[in-house]
Structure 1
Amino acid sequence: MNQMPMTPMGVGKLLDKSFNVYRQHFGAFFLLALIWFGPFLLVQQLLLIDVSSIPLLMQDTEGLEFWEAMGEKFGGQEDLLTQNVAMMLLYAFVVAPLTMVVAYPQLIAGATFMTKSALEEQPVDLKAGLKQALGRFWPLVGSTIVYGLLAVALTIGFLLVFMLIGFLLVLATGNSIETFFDSDSTLSPFIFIVVFLFGYILFLAGIVLVPGYFLLRWSFYLPLVLFERNGIGIDKSWNLTKGNFWRLFAIYLVLSILYSIFSGGIQVAVMGIMGTSVISQIIMVVLSCLLMPWMAIVYALAYFDLRVRKDGTDLEALMSKQLDQDIDRLLAKDSGATHE
């Protein structure tokens, strides 16, 4: 049986490897996403969009100038959202949670197992990937719920601390928002805008570097639960990612940018041609399922890369410790011989 390559990958090499794996085993990964995310995305569209008010094939913009037609296609989407409160609640409290705790971990676990097979040059079997992930269904669900609760707690905690600091600063300066726009105040609206922008940038940096730091360090719990079969994996993910935060952050940043470019470009193309229609919504679901496996493969490769780096570090530490013990024994032996 072939083993995974024991060479760490940089960000560029990891992304290049993800494209190669997806290209070579496109059918299996795409079907995996269709099986787990396709139904949930379709239900989401049916619940949130008033399907009865949109055409089946293509939005009618006949007789309009080009820019007017584009404005009609892109500008009226908010009006198509359903006004049915029951459907919105059903999505918010049933479909969305099930997507996060069932579809997401099953997709990631299956893609991770299949990526492992691809790295070991073994057959990439969709059925085996589904079976392997389903065999760990409840541990994956439980770990994802714990991770989600931690994410919510960290985010709320950060928001409360940030708001408290802002409130204390306002009290310390003796000002309030009203004073920025008071005609008798020495502070101008321009200063308020500058302060607001500075606070917004500080908020974004803070939420990335505080909750984001912990969530990224904990985020590799899924493959640990899948392969090691004990615990919820969050503590082990913390140990596995030690010393790799900035490299993982770079991977996440590049991945987010590429995903935004691909998904945004696809959405603009589909909406520009077809507008809002039933078929265009189905196409968007299928295209979303095209991008999800690639992101899952990047995640899986990042995990295996961390394993290689961690195992290599542990091996070096073990060898160093063994060498120190051998030296101590030799010194003790020489000391005993001299004493005799």
Structure 2
Amino acid sequence: MKDKSSTPQSFGSVLDLTFRISKNHFATFFLIFLIVVGPIVLLEALISLIGGSGLIRDVASGGSFLEQLTNTVDEALYGTTTIAEDLGTIVSGLATIVLYPIAQAAVILAIKAIRKGEEFTAGTVIKKAFSRFWPIFASSLLFGVIVFGLIFFPILIITIISSIGAVFSPVVGITFGVVLFLGAAAVIAYLLTRWGLYLPAVVFERCAPGLGRSWDLTRRNFWRTFGLIVVIGLIAIIISSVFEMILTMLFGYSVLYTVLLNIITMITTMLFSVGYGLIYFDLKLRNDGDDLMDMIEDYDTPKA
């Protein structure tokens, strides 16, 4: 029987389906991320261990627990990094660009199977996702460059203009900075929302880099799409932040901290991927009438 997600959903229904599908298929979805991203997590942990990080707990010296925690965070933020730490950062960055989109694509492929009432395994959807590896990689890399440009250049321009304004009047400089920042944030949010559904478009519609298709899907649905992405994204960020704070307090920046934090990141990314996929399918239903096409296909298919 087909899942409820095969019909257009309200804002609340998308959120409800996100949590319900994530809970019902948690083991399979987590296995997908574990298979695709897990080796990189182990490699990063090994690099940290070789670089001298403590296995269970690695905190800075201090007279009290709070002082140790403060010194540990200060060293992480302002201290010099080791070669191992830099290498770990590079490995993590490569995983984000290369493997996380593949894992997300596999989850979205699984959601399609759920909607159609089809059987699937972690292996089958991973295999399908890797069959689109190069389009996914190239599109994700392009999207990453766009995100970097949309953030870096406005910040650079705002900083220059605000500094020039501050020479004449601090109030003018601050005012200009705030107004320009809010305007830039609005433009960035708009563009990233309109282009943000590139990944499922690349996976299902073979239209790499998928930015144009995402733009078409979100037409007349910007605020709804933006709201869903923000809500689901905030939930994932809050969960990650809370666990990161707890893990830092318990283990410092040890190898165990690295592994556990990466597991939490995989789970929150999995949750976001489910919501992300549901948003895409819901927009396709609204724009392309996929539910009607499914009905036609079912009617045309002869009964066994």
The TM-score normalised by the length of structure 2 is 0.80
Alignment correspondent of 2:86: 88
1:144-180: CA deviations, max 9, x gaps?
A: 233334334444554566467657xx5xxxx653x55
Question: Which of these two proteins has the greater Rg computed from alpha carbons?
Answer: 1
Q: Which residue of 2 aligns with 1:56?
A: 55
Letter in structure 2 aligned against 1:57: I
Task: Give me the whole-angstrom Cα distance separating, in 2, the residues matched to 1:63 and 1:97.
Answer: 32
Cα distance in 1 for partners of 2:290, 2:95 equals 37
Paired letter, 1:99: A
Deviation at 1:306, TM superposition (A): 0.7
Identity of aligned residues (%): 29
**Cα distance, 1:28 vs structure 2:** 1.3
* Counterpart for residue 253 of structure 1: 230
Contact 2:158 2:181 in 1 (8 A): no
* Aligned residue number for residue 32 of structure 2: 32
Question: Contact 1:158/1:211 (CA < 8 Å) preserved in 2?
Answer: no
The one-letter amino acid of 1:56's match is: L
Residue of structure 1 aligned with 2:255, choices 264, 278, 296: 278
Q: Distance in 2 between matches of 1:30 and 1:254?
A: 21
SS at match of 1:210: helix
Aligned to 1:298: 275
Superposed CA deviations along residues 188-217 of structure 1, whole A, max 9, x for unmatched, are xxxx2x555544443442333223322221
TM norm structure 1:
0.72
Give the letter aligned to residue 245 of structure 1. Answer: F
CA distance in 1, matches of 2:50, 2:183: 40
In 2 relative to 1, CA 204–119 (structure 1 residues): closer, same or farther, beyond 3 Å?
farther
In the alignment, structure 1 residue 234 sits paired with structure 2 residue 226: no
Distance 1:46 1:301 in 2: 36
Q: How many residues are matched?
A: 292
1:286-328, Cα deviation, whole Å (9 max, x unpaired) = 222221111111110110111111124998xxxxxxxxxxxxx
SS at match of 1:77: helix
Aligned-CA RMSD value: 3.4
Give the Cα separation in 1 of the matches to 2:44 and 2:220.
39
Alpha carbons 2:3, 2:116 under 8 Å: kept = yes
Answer whether contact 2:194 2:218 (CA < 8 A) is retained: yes
Please tell me whether residue 114 in structure 1 is matched to residue 114 in structure 2.
no
2:117 aligned with 1:126: no
Partner Cα distance (1:309, 1:303) in 2: 10
CA distance change for structure 1 residues 69 and 176 in 2, over 3 Å: closer, same or farther? closer
Question: What is the one-letter code of the residue matched to 1:228?
Answer: E
Unpaired runs of 5+ residues, structure 2, are: 293-304
Per-residue CA distance 1:85-143 (angstroms, 9 max, x = gap):
x9737854xx3663344213212211110111223333341111101111111121222
Moved more, 132-141 or 267-276: 267-276
For 1:143, the equivalent position in structure 2 comes to 139
Amino acid at match of 1:88: D
2:280 and 2:153 mapped to 1: Cα distance?
A: 28
Deviation at 1:254, TM superposition (A): 1.5
Match for 1:120: what amino acid? K
Query: Please, which moves more after superposition, 32-41 or 244-253?
Result: 32-41
Please name the residue that 2:198 is paired with.
221
Say whether the 8 Å CA contact 2:2–2:114 is kept in structure 1. no
Q: Does 1:289 align with 2:288?
A: no
Residues 81 and 310 (structure 1), Cα distance of their counterparts in 2 relative to 1, 3 Å cut:
farther
Distance 2:142 2:256 in 1: 37
Letter of the structure 2 residue corresponding to residue 54 of structure 1 = S
Secondary structure in structure 1 of the residue aligned to 2:223 = helix
Q: Decide whether the 8 Å contact of 1:218 with 1:237 is kept in 2.
A: yes
Alpha-carbon deviations, 1:248-271, whole Å to 9, x = none? 221222223212221111112122
3-state SS in 1 of match to 2:9? coil
How much has 1:65 moved relative to structure 2?
3.7
Partners of 2:142 and 2:52 lie apart in 1 by 40
Contact residue 6 and residue 115 of structure 2 kept, 8 A: no
Structure 2 residue 240 is matched with structure 1 residue 263: yes
- The structure-2 alpha-carbon separation of the partners of 1:25 and 1:75, relative to structure 1 and needing over 3 Å to count, comes to same
What is the aligned partner in structure 2 of residue 10 from structure 1? 10
| Contact 1:50 1:82 (C-alpha < 8 Å) held by counterparts | no
Whether the 8 Å CA contact 1:51–1:278 is kept in 2: the answer is no
Partners of 1:165 and 1:53 in 2: CA distance: 44
The reply to whether residue 307 of structure 1 matches residue 284 of structure 2 is yes
Partner Cα separation in structure 1 for residue 58 and residue 140 of structure 2: 40
Amino acid of the structure 1 residue aligned with 2:262 = V
Matched with 1:102 is: 98
Paired with 2:92 and 2:62, the residues of 1 have a C-alpha distance of 40
